[in-house]
Every structure is written in structure tokens, then in C-alpha cells.
Amino acid sequence: MTADGANGAFQDRNRRSWGRVARRPHKVASPRFRDEVQAVLVGGCQSYKSVLGVGLGRSYSDSCLNPDGAVVDTTALDRLIAFDGESGVLRVESGASLWDILEFAVPRGFFLPTTPGTRYVTVGGAVANDVHGKNHHRAGTFGNHVLSLGLMRSDGQELRVSRDQNPDLFQATVGGLGLTGLILWADLKLTRIPSSHISQQSIPFHSVSEFFDLACESERDFEHTVAWVDCLSAGDNLGRGIFSRGNWSEVGSLTNEPARNRLSIPFDPPAMALNQFSVRAFNEAYFKLNKARAGESTVKYGPFFYPLDAIRHWNRMYGAQGFYQYQSVVPPNVARDATAEMLKEVSHSGQGSFLAVLKTFGDVKSPGMLSFPAPGATLALDFPNRGEETLRLLSRLDRVVDNAGGRLYPAKDGRLPPEQFWRGYPDAETFREYVDPKFSSEFWRRMIAG
């Protein structure tokens, strides 16, 4: 089949990423079977400046966009290929979503070794961003549980990459932002679970310092830890929030959650609907409500890991201008001060939204050259896009992160200064040697232009 062939035809389609800041015209092909991919990819590389494999577009900005070139949408390559019920090793096509895996695995007593905050991401996307979850301090990143990958380069050659076979290319591909080739399939080691429920504890905290004390105290006994932080609170309330920690419950059934999300944001609300007054009021109410409800409970895995999956198109709530997510990690020795400084900046600016997450990363080494997680604290904040005003705030946050010796998460970024990227990722120069010359993205062009 050629790039113009029936199933692999590249068609004109507008694409945007999860933050909805920009919509760009793309050439998109969607192969349905693995044996179609070679012709599509080679044809695309001949016809267009560059190609990029993409999944469900849950990255917030331009790392999953390639408007000057073409993209290969992998979401129809969604088959589970083989499973060993003894070892928990699953071979799966790269376009399968985490939800596809959970539907199969949970009733059999298995779960993903680690999971991001949405199950609507593909395996290829999870590998290419080396995603992390609430159990980073125990399990490390997604890539820590990938045994091997099938990777197709632009010349149509399929390589097997693992810690033993083509190990350098494996390290470049895990967390490699899709730039080393198209991931066709992955062998993942799933983890056993006793039930599909989590025994969780919810604890209010009143300062950044209290958060760090709780995180430190919880790491030994709790597999999952995370906190919501009120990013608009100030003064004595600066850095208050709700800490949540939990373990798999030993009792309970092994049942899946229905994938349907009952709530939906059907259209773009006016940008004014979300302003500092409404967010402050919401945060105040949320903190008080959760403080009153603090304590222990047993919950299904869905609301625990994927609360936002319950609302379809929640990314529309920021209005037609979209939003930025800003996720940083700063090293442990400066984490308290840098986190407090960032929260002060955000609170003072009056920007920011309800969605603000604070978590500590442990010291399990990430396998990827460009993996984002590193020991320390990670703060993820959403900001409605208010143009220059927002960009100025993000630049102020950049300075805090940079001075702290931290870095930003490319999966979330849409405006990171290139020099800060190269400083934050010391292995990025080595990584460059493994980038397939026909693969590119808007993010990557921004970084290498700088």
C-alpha cells in the first residue's frame, strides 16, 4: 500500500491536543492492522517532511502535533495479542488504551503496574511519555514495567528493543516523545491485585510543610499517595490541601467500572465563567467539604485513580481559548521552598484553577533518557489561557524551577524555553543521536530551534 492507498491514506484533518490552545491542519493516516503500518509509514516519510505516531491526544500541547508533516494515528491498532496468566506479561498493540487493558485484566486479578490520572491514553503514548502515577515512590514509571517493544523506523525496518536488545534505543524510546520511530506493540508486566477497590485515607493539611511531612510519613506504608492543593489560598492558608493515600483493599470483588461517563461539558463555556472569584469560592468549599469528610473509606479504583474520566470533555471548561498545564519536578533538598514559592506566585497572580496536584516522586530510576520523573516534588497546575498575562506567570514559575535545578514535563508543555529544556534534561544531547531523521513534532522543532 502507498501513502495514498485505501486503508493508509493520509487525509486532511484538524488536530488539537488536550489543552486546546491551538488547532492545526494535519495529514493523518489511521492504519487498522499492524501489517499495514510499514507501507503507510514508508509512504508517509516519502510524501511529507516528517511523520509522528500519535495516540489519544491526551498530551496537553504540541508534543503530539506535527502540522508541518504527517501523523500516524495508532488508535485502531488496539488489540491485546497475548497474555501469560502466570507471569502477568501482556503483549499489546500500541494503540490499545489503558482502559482496553483494564477491561481484560481486572476480572483476572491484574492491574497496570502504574497509571496516569486518565485511562484514556494509549500504550504507545504511555511509553513515549514514560508516564507516572500515584505510586511512583514504589513502582517508578510506566517504562520500568515495559519488557520490550516493537519499533518501526522510517525505513520500514521493525526492531525489537529492550534492556538486552538495542538497549540504547530502548532507553531513547521510553520517554522519547515518539521521535525514535513508531511503537507497534509492547510487552508489559502487569501487577496482581487482591480486589478492584482501594482502602484510602483522606487527610487535610494546612501548609506546604505539612504536606511534605505527610508525604514522607506515608511512603513506607502506602502504595499510592497524592494531594490536591488549593493553589489560590494565601497567607496562613498558603499550600493547604487534601492528602490522599491508599492501598489495594484485601477484600472485595474484582470488577470493572463502566467506561461510560455520565457527565459531559457539551460546549465551550464563556471564559469568564472561570475566574479567580469562582475558583477561590470553589476551592474554599472543596477544602471545607473534604476536611469535614476526612478519614478512611473504601472506594472503587475508578474514582480513586481517574476522577476526571467521569466528566466527558472536561477540557472544554476553560472556554474556547483553552488552557495550559504546567508540571514541574524539583529536587528533594529544595522541594519545600520551591513549591511554596511557586504557590505564592500563583496565588498572588489570581490565575490558576481547581486542578492543582502535588506529589512526591521516589528514587526508582526511570529507564528513559528523557523521562520526566526524578526524585523530588512534582506540582501540576492548570491555567486558563489568558494570553500574555498567563505566559508571564509561567515565565516566573520557570525561574523558580530553573533556580531549583528542576525541569518541566514535555507532555504538558506548550511554551517551555528551549534552553531550559536542554538544561533540565542532561541526556537530551545523547538522545538526539537516536531520533529517527524522518520523525518530528511541533514540540521537538521548538526545542531544536532554540
Ligand X SMILES: Cc1cc2nc3c(=O)[nH]c(=O)nc-3n(C[C@H](O)[C@H](O)[C@H](O)COP(=O)(O)OP(=O)(O)OC[C@H]3O[C@@H](n4cnc5c(N)ncnc54)[C@H](O)[C@@H]3O)c2cc1C
Positions that interact with ligand X (CB under 6 A): 18, 52-59, 63-64, 74, 94, 116-118, 121-122, 124-126, 128-129, 131-133, 177-178, 182-183, 308, 411, 441
For the residues of 355-420, what is the DSSP string, one character each? -EEEEEE-SPPPSSTT----SEEEEEEEEE--THHHHHHHHHHHHHHHHTT-EE-TTT-SS--HHH
6 sits in the region (left: phi over 0; alpha: psi -120 to 50; else beta) called alpha
Nearest approach in angstroms of CB 20 to ligand X is: 11
Q: Sort strands 263-264 and 311-312 into parallel, antiparallel or unpaired.
A: parallel
Nearer to ligand X, 207 or 368 (CB): 368
Nearest approach in angstroms of CB 54 to ligand X is: 4
Nearer to ligand X, 99 or 248 (CB): 99
CA distance 203 to 160: 45
Radius of gyration of the chain (CA): 21
Nearer to ligand X, 329 or 342 (CB): 329
Nearest approach in angstroms of CB 240 to ligand X is: 22
Nearest approach in angstroms of CB 412 to ligand X is: 7
Nearer to ligand X, 59 or 283 (CB): 59
Closest CA to 81 of 148, 140, 141: 148
| Number of continuous H segments (helices) and E segments (strands) in the chain | 13, 21
295 sits in the region (left: phi over 0; alpha: psi -120 to 50; else beta) called left
SS3 assignment, position 444: helix
Cβ proximity of 23 and 16 under 8 Å: yes
Nearer to ligand X, 349 or 410 (CB): 410
Nearest approach in angstroms of CB 299 to ligand X is: 17
Nearest approach in angstroms of CB 438 to ligand X is: 13
Nearer to ligand X, 187 or 341 (CB): 187
Nearest approach in angstroms of CB 279 to ligand X is: 18
Cβ proximity of 302 and 257 under 8 Å: yes
Cβ proximity of 51 and 68 under 8 Å: no
Nearer to ligand X, 322 or 349 (CB): 322
